[in-house]
Structures are given as C-alpha cells and as structure tokens.
A and B are shown apart, each in its own frame.
Chain A
Amino acid sequence: MSKDMSYAAVMARKGEIMKKAVGLDYEQFERDGIVFDYEAMMTGTGYSLEDVIDIQRASCVSQTPLYEMKNLTKLARMYAAEGKGARIFIKDEAANPSGSFKVRRAAISVHHAKKLGYKGVIAATSGNYGAAVASQAAMHGLDCIILQECYDSKGKGQPEIIEKARKCEAFGAEVVQLSVGPELFYTFLRLLEETGYFNASLYTPFGIAGVESLGYELAEQMKALEGKYPDAVVVTNAGGGNLTGTARGLKKAGANETEIIGASVDLSGLHMASDEQFNKKSFTTGHTGFGIPFTTWPDRSDVPRSAARPLRYIDRYVTISQGEVFYMTESLAQVEGMERGPAGNTSLAAAFAIAKEMDEDQIIVVQETEYTGAGKHIAPQLSFAKENGIAVLVGDPKDNIPGQNIILPENPGLISIKNLDLNRIRKSYIKNALHGRLDDTLSANEMNYIEEETRADSDFISLVINELRSE
C-alpha cells in the first residue's frame, strides 16, 4: 500500500523520518520537564574542536584571512567623538571553496553523512548553505539535493536565490525549487523519506561544531596579529548558528572577554510566509524575520532540538536597515577594494556604527564575508526592489519602512544601529519554553535550565513568569 502523502500524514511521520535522516536520537538528551542537556548533545557529536579543524583542512575549508579595514576605520573616526572609533577588521570567509562561512558547517555534516554510510545529503535552504553542502558533497562524492523556497505565485524569484540555484547546479547538485510557504518542510520530509539521504540540517550539533573553528581561528589570528583578543565580534544573526558557533569557538580559544554582538537587517512588519510580501524584501537571510523567532525559540527548525542557541551567548543584539547594508557593501568595494555579497555585510554595517562608540585602541571584528556575482549583488537586488515597487532613496535611514522603501544614507555619519531589548527577547523565550505551563512551579532543574538558556538569574525569570501569569 502506498503511503499517505497528505500534509498532515507526512508531518505526523516527522519524528520517524528525522531519526533515520540525522542518525541521532535526540531523545537521549531530553531530561525532566522542559530540560534537555545541550552540552551533552554538543559533545555527543564525537567531534572535538581539533577533529573539526582537521576535517575542515582536509576539505579545503577554513584558514581564511583576517584583514584590517583601514579606510572604513578612518571614515568611522570622522564621525566619532575625540578618541573614539575602534579599528575594524573583517574575516574574509568568502575565500572558502563555496564562497561563505557556511561551508564550515557543511564540511562536518557531509563528513558525518559519509562516515555513517549515507549515499547523499539533503538541505533545505535558499542561501549560501545550499551552495556549501553542494560543494562539500561534490568534493566527497555524495549525491546532493538542495530544496529552496524560490518563487512567488507569479513565478517571480529573488535574483539572489536564482544565483544560489545556479551555484548548487554548478557543484552537481539537484535543485528542487518551491513557491512561498512553510510547507517547504513538508516537501523536505517527503524527499528524505523517498531518498534515505542524510539531513544536512543547519541546526545539528555537527553543523554548529563546524562554526566553532571560525571563532577559534579568529581569536588566534587576532592574538598573533595584535597580541590580544578582539574587544567585540559582530555576527550576522538569522537562525543563530553563526553566532552560537562563533561564540563557542571564541570561548574555546580563551577569548572570554570579547563582546558577542548579533546584528540583523530590520525587516519588521513583513510576514515571511506571505506570498505577496515575499519579493518585497531585499534580504533573504540575516534579517529579523529569522533572527527574532529563532532567538526567542530555537527549537523551530528541521531537527527536534536546535544546536543553535544564540541567547546562551549573545551580549548585545542590534538591527540595521537594508539601505545601510547596501551602502556599506558599495563602500567596501569603493574604498577597500573588496567586492563582497550584501548579506554578509549586515554585520559590517553594524560594526561601522558600533566602532564609533568604542575607543580608538579597541578592535571590532566582522566575522564573515560572502561571495558576490550576478544576482547576488547590490545592483540586481536594488533593480529587483524597484521592479517590485520599492522606492530606493538617498536620505536618512531612520525613515526606512521595510517593504516600502530602501534608504541609502546621505553620508556615513547616518549609519546607526538600533539596540534590541534583550530582556524582552528573554521574556519571549521563557514564554515559548514554558509551553503555557504558567500555573506549575518549575523544578530546580528547569529553573537552572532556563537560567542557562537565557543567561538571566532566577529572580528575573520568576518576575517574568509572574508577568506572564497576569497577562
């Protein structure tokens, strides 16, 4: 008898499909109540940081350069108070084989899939991760399917996503494209079931372990170059894996004092699953549409428990507008001679603004860049925005309205970040973690777990629970 392929039936088989597809039983890390043992899951990968570094080196991944952006630093200082304006450095992750840091994740996932005897790998992603998995699958001789949300109901697709499809095909992968909607996950489950391939999810402990080398490498490079660890590292935040892995790597290197700053493009007001709004945004990742939901509740991904848990590591979370990131992308090309993709420059734009607050002798690091090319470049992305009725203006980015306009700052002095209230994000996390269990008392283990997840103390957590009860 053939299997029931309806949405409800396939979703009901989720647990069983996933278990086969990641070769990892997440049940073993579940503890009492809402608690799960995150560190046991992370060490349960069986890959130490040294193993990760060895695997990546054998896969032509990592060891990317760290450059000082002297002209951007000089520009930031022109708009900073006397003695202010930190030195800006950038880690050129575009130098990796697939053109982004995402291949650090893919290298470990593909290595693991091959070790467990899977014939192929599947990843659901419209972004750099697809190209990364395809690249590693090509290198290690595995079949690869990349599933991407690509077109709206009129068949129009973001130029950046089309380019990613091309790149995946260039590495020999099969690209399955879908129209807008969260049922991407349903199609993903069907493909896993049909092929028996490995789920090279962005959110497995293997993937996150792969990013640890980035933070570690960065710390070591800075120490060798300047004799100290960076004062701050800015990480573009979407699903949380980049931030989590980088922060863990920095800590493993001993850079415990480095401030971890998450940055997302502000797309507030746009619904990510809306067919009409899909092509109204000019960023397909690194934006608040992923950053906020994944920070306030990480376990919404394609694995039962996400290894990306940004609230455990984030010290500060800022947003920046689309126009400011486009402006900074153009600036990077024009005054530093480095042409890189816009999405990777989210943290650069934020770092430029934050550098102005910091002292001159301090160091701020932008921990990634991404490749650029046809489709994946500010000119096609701005052309596409105009075609979709978005006004492209020069002015003050404070007046930007996501989905209506993109405002390029008149001068670099207008580049500024907005600070998100981390306590509000923690409150939202606590609400999600409790699953409506507001009347129960938390066990000591559960309280301890929320403390670890949010880095808040028990007084704050109790206060929040009381607030939630009265709402």
Chain B
Amino acid sequence: MNKAKKNDWVKIHNIILGPEERAPQVPEDTKKVPLELWVKGYLIDEKAEIGDTVVVKTVTGRRVSGSLIEIEPSFNHDFGSYVKELAYIGPGLRELLKGGEHRE
C-alpha cells in the first residue's frame, strides 16, 4: 500500500536534530547520525504517498508534520526463533528435583 487518504492511520518520520546539532555529551558514533523521531496519527492531508511530507493528528490531538513512511502500521514482534540453547534447562531441573535432596 503506497497511497493514503485523509483519516488513514499512518506513521511518519522526522529528523529532530542533525548530526551537527546533537548534544555535546553524545558519544562519537552517535554524533555521526541524526536524532530521529517516529509517531503515528490520522492523516490530515486529502491524499499522500509514501515519502511525502504530511501532517497527522495524533491520538492526543497534536498536529505533527513529517515524512509518510507507513500506512496502517502494525506490530510484527513475536516470540522469536527457536532457541535451542534453552532446551536443556527444564528437563535438567526436573531431573534434579526428582533426584531428591543431594548436596554438593
């Protein structure tokens, strides 16, 4: 989906501080990159495409301008991949518990 219309739920992106405007105490690697911001809201413009500069109304009613990066953004975080390194823990402990009261 590349095109959004008024009132669509969208995500926008902004540069808050360029690398040269960053705080003095920032470490060197961080100073090389800008401070970026992402926020979601309902599109105020009649229509827009990904990459356009748009204005949104956030859920608290703030109007924020930025570059349109996602239309109807969703969460995709999950339970990750199978972690084989964890597999021994449960069976190992249950075995120990069955074995009773031994002390080292």
Q: Do A and B bind each other?
A: yes
B-binding residues in A (CB < 8 A) = 6-7, 71, 74-75, 77-82, 120, 143-145, 150-151, 153, 159, 162-163, 165-166, 169, 172-183, 186-187, 194-195, 271, 273-276, 326-327, 330-331, 333-335, 374-375, 377-384, 386, 392-394, 408, 411-413
User: Is B35 interfacial (CB 8 A cutoff)?
Assistant: yes
Bound CA–CA A150/B75 (angstroms): 14
Bound CA–CA A305/B98 (angstroms): 52
Most chain B CB within a 10 A radius of its CB, from A82, A151, A179, A334: A179
Question: In the bound complex, do residue B97 and residue A75 qualify as a contact, i.e. CB atoms below 8 Å apart?
Answer: yes
- Picked from B26, B40, B77, B83, the residue with its CB within 8 Å of the CB of A182 is B26
Q: How far, in Å, is A235 (CB) from chain B's closest CB?
A: 25
Question: In the bound complex, do residue B78 and residue A178 qualify as a contact, i.e. CB atoms below 8 Å apart?
Answer: no
| A77 surroundings in chain B (CB, below 8 A) | 101, 103
Question: In the bound complex, do residue A275 and residue B101 qualify as a contact, i.e. CB atoms below 8 Å apart?
Answer: no
| B94 surroundings in chain A (CB, below 8 A) | 334-335
- Picked from A120, A176, A276, A383, the residue with its CB within 8 Å of the CB of B80 is A383
Bound CA–CA A393/B58 (angstroms): 44
Question: In the bound complex, do residue B89 and residue A327 qualify as a contact, i.e. CB atoms below 8 Å apart?
Answer: yes
| B96 surroundings in chain A (CB, below 8 A) | 75, 78, 411-412
| A78 surroundings in chain B (CB, below 8 A) | 96, 101-104
Bound CA–CA A234/B65 (angstroms): 46
Question: In the bound complex, do residue A186 and residue B23 qualify as a contact, i.e. CB atoms below 8 Å apart?
Answer: yes
Bound CA–CA A71/B101 (angstroms): 12
> Using a CB-CB cutoff of 8 Å, which residues 22-47 of chain B contact chain A?
22-23, 25-27, 29-30, 32-41
Q: Is the interface of B mostly helix, strand, loop or mixed?
A: loop
User: Is B93 interfacial (CB 8 A cutoff)?
Assistant: yes
Most chain A CB within a 10 A radius of its CB, from B36, B39, B101: B36
- Picked from B17, B77, B82, B102, the residue with its CB within 8 Å of the CB of A163 is B77
How many residues from B make CB contacts under 8 Å with A? 47
- Picked from A151, A384, A386, the residue with its CB within 8 Å of the CB of B36 is A151
| B22 surroundings in chain A (CB, below 8 A) | 7, 181, 183
| A153 surroundings in chain B (CB, below 8 A) | 33-34, 36
Q: How far, in Å, is A412 (CB) from chain B's closest CB?
A: 7
Bound CA–CA A335/B81 (angstroms): 23
| A74 surroundings in chain B (CB, below 8 A) | 97, 101
- Picked from B17, B29, B62, the residue with its CB within 8 Å of the CB of A194 is B62
Question: In the bound complex, do residue B38 and residue A151 qualify as a contact, i.e. CB atoms below 8 Å apart?
Answer: yes
| B1 surroundings in chain A (CB, below 8 A) | none
Question: In the bound complex, do residue B86 and residue A178 qualify as a contact, i.e. CB atoms below 8 Å apart?
Answer: no
- Picked from B35, B60, B75, B97, the residue with its CB within 8 Å of the CB of A335 is B97
Question: In the bound complex, do residue B16 and residue A183 qualify as a contact, i.e. CB atoms below 8 Å apart?
Answer: yes
Bound CA–CA A333/B79 (angstroms): 15
- Picked from A120, A173, A187, A386, the residue with its CB within 8 Å of the CB of B16 is A187
Question: In the bound complex, do residue B25 and residue A377 qualify as a contact, i.e. CB atoms below 8 Å apart?
Answer: no
Given A144-B60, A374-B79, A275–B30 Cβ distance below 8 Å? Answer: yes
Q: How far, in Å, is A348 (CB) from chain B's closest CB?
A: 14
Bound CA–CA A183/B36 (angstroms): 10
